[in-house]
Amino acid sequence: MDKVCAIFGGSRGIGRAVAQVMAPKGYRLALVARDLRVAQAAASDLGGDHLAFSCDVAKEHDVQNTFEEMEKRLGPIRFLVNAAGINRDSLLVRTKTEEMVSQLHTNLLGSMLTCRAAVKTMIQQQGGSIVNVGSIIGLKGNSGQSVYSASKGGLVGFSRALAKEVARKKIRVNVIAPGFIHTDMTKHLKEEHFKKNIPLGRFGEAIEVAHAVVFLLESPYITGHVLVVDGGLQLTM
Ligand SMILES: NC(=O)c1ccc[n+]([C@@H]2O[C@H](COP(=O)([O-])OP(=O)(O)OC[C@H]3O[C@@H](n4cnc5c(N)ncnc54)[C@H](OP(=O)(O)O)[C@@H]3O)[C@@H](O)[C@H]2O)c1
């Protein structure tokens, strides 16, 4: 049977790097993002028989329809990576309610919706593996990132609880908590300013996170784990 993996946020950054690690390992991939053209370009760069789908993870109907479409075209989803996410830094007193809602809906509710859809299929398939991409900020907190931090901290609680709920069904759920990684999300940041607090002295690369994601995805005896990939940043926070 095909090893089918849905990667939400697979069009760019960390999700795309996960796809680049998985494609040569024989997985059939569904790359999912709002911008279909970018996702299609990422899928065709992989070569092989991978597909792109357009979906806003914050919208229940979108997620439901995307799972139906993915399963029709690729077969049952056995692996899920939730890398779709947004970050809008601002002090809480200046943060509009709509900004709170959009971060919580994309980063937290979105992963709940995709996990719910995937777990239904994984129960029927008698097994599956999920990796949710959190953040070191969700574990440590950071000034100007209270809402983002809440969304990522919530993802840890959600993932650990779900790991307990579905373990008997042979479904594993783990979390990756990256530090500063070179992607579109961090391109506005001055690395010089932040790297003095990173023991390894640099931002990470998406591919370095991707290898850790795939490690968790494929590790048969690890569940409910939060793996930090941050160049040692947590040691100084
Ligand atoms: N980069 C870092 O330093 C860092 C550190 C810690 C954690 N993270 C987390 O890692 C994950 C990936 O981040 P990244 O750095 O790779 O960001 P990125 O380069 O900006 O990529 C974000 C991806 O998520 C997709 N996406 C965003 N909103 C979406 C939505 N509502 N529905 C569906 N897809 C959506 C984007 O595609 P579309 O825009 O086309 O939808 C894109 O594929 C995020 O959850 C982020 O919070 C990143």
Task: Kindly list the structural domains of the chain, giving each domain's residue range(s) and its CATH number in brackets, ordered by start.
Answer: 3-235 (3.40.50.720)
Is the CB–ligand 1 distance for residue 178 below 6 Å? yes
Is the CB–ligand 1 distance for residue 104 below 6 Å? no
Q: Residue 2's pLDDT is what?
A: 72
Q: Model's pTM, two decimal places?
A: 0.98
Render each residue's pLDDT in the chain as its tens digit; 237 residues. Answer: 579 999 999 999 999 999 999 999 999 999 999 999 999 999 999 999 999 999 999 999 999 999 999 999 999 999 999 999 999 999 999 999 999 999 999 999 999 999 999 999 999 999 999 999 999 999 999 999 999 999 999 999 999 999 999 999 999 999 999 999 999 999 999 999 999 999 999 999 999 999 999 999 999 999 999 999 999 999 999
Q: Residue 1's pLDDT is what?
A: 59
Asked if 108 contacts 68 with a C-beta cutoff of 8 angstroms, the reply is no
Q: Residue 160's pLDDT is what?
A: 98
Taking the C-alpha atoms of residue 34 and residue 179, their distance in angstroms, rounded to an integer, is 24
Asked if 216 contacts 227 with a C-beta cutoff of 8 angstroms, the reply is yes
Q: Residue 142's pLDDT is what?
A: 96
Residue with CA nearest ligand 1 atom 11: 83
Helix-helix angle 60-74:110-125, to 10 degrees = 30
Is the CB–ligand 1 distance for residue 185 below 6 Å? yes
Ligand 1 atom with least separation from CA of 137:
6
